[in-house]
Structures are given as structure tokens and as C-alpha cells.
Amino acid sequence: MGKNVRLRKGFDINLAGKASPTITTTDQPDVFAIKPTDFQGVYLPRVLVNVGDTVKAGTPLFRDKKFEKIVFTAPVSGEVIEIKRGEKRKLLEVKILADKSFQHVEFRKYSAGDLASISREEAQEQLLASGVWTNLIQRPFGVIADPNETAKAIFISAFDSHPLAPDYELIFKGEEQFFQAGVEILKKFTSGRIHVNLRGDKQSSIFSGTKGVEFNYFTGPHPSGCVGVQIHHIDPINRGEIAWTINPFGVIQIGKLFLNGIYDTSRIVALVGSEVKTPQYYKTWTGASISKMIENNIKSGHVRYISGNVLTGTKIPADGFIGFFDHMVTVIPEGDYYEFMGWISHGFKKLSTQRAWGLFSFLTPKKEYVLDTNTHGEPRAFVQTGVFEKVTPMDILPTYLIKAIIAEDFDEMEALGIYEVIEEDLALCDFVDVSKHNIQALLREGIELIRNS
């Protein structure tokens, strides 16, 4: 029996620049890239290709040195043109010059057949070899799932509540068959349940017909769509327990792998934000350069490009690449300016969770805001205000958890719920923090301290 959960804590950031429900097949970019930095816990990737090599979609590009079986594969067919490294030869990107015709992408072939007859071992071997395994994320810690572990349950958030999030009903339309097939494969990896979590105030035509899963329904403001928040209200993770999460696109990729025998990374991506002339959806592939999407479609030059959403996304250049897990690119004004006494000024243009600073936003909740990246202040002493608890719909104390991380108090971190959260679950704390600290970065430091202890 699934649950109906209504969340009262949280906050919806209503930004201007929502994507219109149109899908464009613009000229595809020439270059694609896979970035190890998109994956938590991958520190020493070993490159398996050289510049000049020809690859097919699904060809291994690099592997995780800690887990040799976990490989990261090419999203398209073409030629490896650059292996980009940073300080201390850290691997940043493997770039591929794609074949000219995307109508004839060459795929590395994998087995396809009767799903019921495939054993767990056979399914795991194919998921690992194809690179599809990297869609499976393990809780606690938010790292790629360990093939040697067994999950107590698998959780799928079938909606996104982040600012300007894409409409899953549009981007996954027509993929029901592959989603169901992906679920059938996932059942082989847990003795527990497959939880599909839906928006409680909106009927889903894509996921609601899935068989063999438990449906849970969530209503309320962001972060209601974050899978970590959902797990907390369905089946919380305790010390020693492991759960896996995967987004709907990953489930669909599993289905395509076992039904069609290919690693298919074709996806629909939303280009959104107040600085986009025509916010809309684009058909492309994983790791695409955003250069063709933004060409002649940006209002001004002084903007920030974000792969993902404004809360948890990654800053990229104008010729940067879409992250492995991202279905949106957000463009907002850059905020590198000084506002005299901005921390104390009131105004009708301000959006705030506090009535004193953003009264007008409470009176006009449907107003769309144009917000930039300015933090309106510098980091200062970490003070206790209670605002973190107002936007965190979980039975944890985020203020004390962050303090415990700063103090490197392992016992307190465990007692205060560090096993239950990753960055996206506390991303709103960044937005409301009057002390201007990078809460997500601090949380990751604490997670790594616990994980490596």
C-alpha cells in the first residue's frame, strides 16, 4: 500500500523563463563529452581510449579504478578528439566529434531478449558493460551503486519540483514500454519494492500505468520532487542499510538496452531561464554541447549558463556540455555587481522566504521573478536563525547537522541524519542562508568524511 504525503515545509522559487511545450530538432552539435565530475565518488578514472580512436555509442571511454567493472561509455558514435585534464592530470572531459549523420548512429550491440529469462548476474553484467549501470545511485552518500551490494528498495522520483523543471509528461511521452521493461530488470536487484513516486495533485499519463511497483504520492512545495525527501517519508535509511535511486530516464535506458540491445542516450532537454529568447525543448543526446541551442537565442551576453537547475546545477561555458543527469539548461543574469546596502534594502523585486525582506512575494505568489547569481553578501559567522528547518521537510535538524560537519563530529553527524541526505535535499538551505555559506559543499565534505572513515 503506497503513501500519500503532503509536505508543508519547503519553498517554490518561481522564476521567469519556463519552456513552452514545443520540441525543436535544431542542428545537432558537432562535439559531445562525458565528464567524470558528473559522478560523485569517481576520483581516479582510468582512460580506455586515445585521441583519434573511433568509437560507437556504448564503447567504454574510461572506468572507475576502485570498481573496475563500472565503465563510462560514449553517448554517440564518432572520433575521440580530446582527453581534457586539469590540475594534477585530473580527468575533466572525454570529447567526441560525432558522426555527421545522426540518423545513422552506430551502436555497440548488446544482448536483447526475453526479460523474464535473464538472470540477475546476466543483467548486471550487461548493465555494467554498456555503461547504463552509472544511472543507479546508492544511498547513503549519493555515489554510483556498488555492484557487490543489494538494495533494500529502489526509488524513482517521477516528477521534478526544481525551479523551471521540465515536464516529465512531455519529455518521456511514448516511452512507457521501455520504462516498464526497465522496472522488470530492476526487480532482479532487490528483494524489496520498486517505489515510483508521483505528484499527488497531477495525474501522470506516463508512469501511472506501470505494473509491479508501489506508487506513492507527494504534494507540496520544493523539495517534494527530491528522491531523498521521498525516501525519508516512505522508508528512511538507517546506518548499515542501502537503497538505490534512479531517475526515469535511467529506467528507460535500461529498458532500451534489454529490448533493443543498444545504449541509447537520445533525450529531450529544456532550455530555460529569463535570458533565453525562446525557452523550449530540444532533441539531442547525453553530453551535448549547448552551443547550437543558445545560438541567436540569448538576450544579452553577460549571463551564466547552468547545466541543470539554479539550485544544484553546474556552471558551464557557452560551449560547455550538458551533464550526464541533466534534462535542462538554465540561463540567468550574472550577478557580479555590488549593491550598496543590498542586505538591508527592501523592494518589490525581491524574492524571499522572509516576510520582512520579501513581503511583496508573499502577496503575489504567482509572480515570476528574474533573479541573478548575486548572493548580496559575503560569507560571515555561521548563525542559527531557524530558516533551514522551515525549508527542509524532513525530521532532521539541518542547522545542527552542518555545525557538526564543520566541527568534524562524526557521532553527531550520524545522529543528526547525514545518512539520509545529499546536496539536492538541502539545496534550499543555500538559498535562504543569511550567513552566505555554501551549504551543499559543506554537506559533501561531511558525507566524504563519513564515507571514507
User: What is the mean pLDDT, run by run of 10 residues, along the chain of 453 residues?
Assistant: 93 95 87 96 92 97 92 96 94 93 80 91 97 97 94 97 97 97 97 96 92 97 98 93 97 98 96 97 96 93 95 97 98 80 57 55 66 76 83 95 96 95 96 90 96 89
434 domain-assigned: yes
pLDDT of 359 reads 46
Is 223 in contact with 184 (CB distance < 8 Å)? no
pLDDT of 363 reads 47
Closest C-alpha among 153, 158, 157, 161 to residue 237: 153
Quote the crossing angle between the two packed helices 176-186 and 248-260, to the nearest 10°: 90
3-state SS assignment for residue 71 = strand
Q: What is the DSSP string of 27-56?
A: PPPSEEEE-GGGSTT--SEEE---TT-EE-
Burial annotation 409-421 (CB, 10 A radius, 16+ → b, else e): beeebeebbbbbb
Q: Which amino acid is at 87?
A: E
pLDDT of 49 reads 97
Domain stops at, among 260, 291, 318: 260
Q: What is the pTM for the complete model shown? A: 0.93
Helices (H), 102-195: 120-130, 168-171, 176-186
Answer yes or no: do 383 and 255 share one domain.
Answer: no
Residue 409 sits in which domain range? 375-451
265 domain-assigned: no
Helices (H), 8-163: 120-130
Q: Could you tell me what percentage of the chain is helix, strand and coil, using 3-state DSSP and rounding each to the nearest 5?
A: 25, 20, 50
Quote the crossing angle between the two packed helices 120-130 and 248-260, to the nearest 10°: 110
Distance CA 270, CA 384 (A): 37
pLDDT of 301 reads 81
292: CB partners within 8 A, 6+ apart: 26, 27, 28, 29
Is 196 in contact with 207 (CB distance < 8 Å)? yes
Is 18 in contact with 280 (CB distance < 8 Å)? no
Closest C-alpha among 17, 33, 28, 27 to residue 166: 17
411 domain-assigned: yes
DSSP secondary structure letter of residue 9: S
- Give yes or no for a cis peptide into 147 (omega within 30° of 0): no
190 domain-assigned: yes
Sign of CA dihedral 38, 41, 47, 53: negative
pLDDT of 365 reads 60
Domain stops at, among 260, 287, 321: 260
C-alpha cell of residue 401: 547537522
123 domain-assigned: yes
Distance CA 139, CA 131 (A): 20
Domain stops at, among 216, 233, 260: 260
133 domain-assigned: yes
pLDDT of 213 reads 97
Distance CA 93, CA 249 (A): 22
Angle at 53 between CA 58 and CA 66, to 5 degrees: 55
Q: Name the domain count of the chain.
A: 2
Distance CA 101, CA 12 (A): 41
Answer yes or no: do 255 and 381 share one domain.
Answer: no
The cell 572507475 sits on which residue?
64
245 domain-assigned: yes
DSSP secondary structure letter of residue 276: B
Answer yes or no: do 255 and 384 share one domain.
Answer: no
pLDDT of 355 reads 54
80 domain-assigned: yes
Quote the crossing angle between the two packed helices 398-406 and 439-451, to the nearest 10°: 60
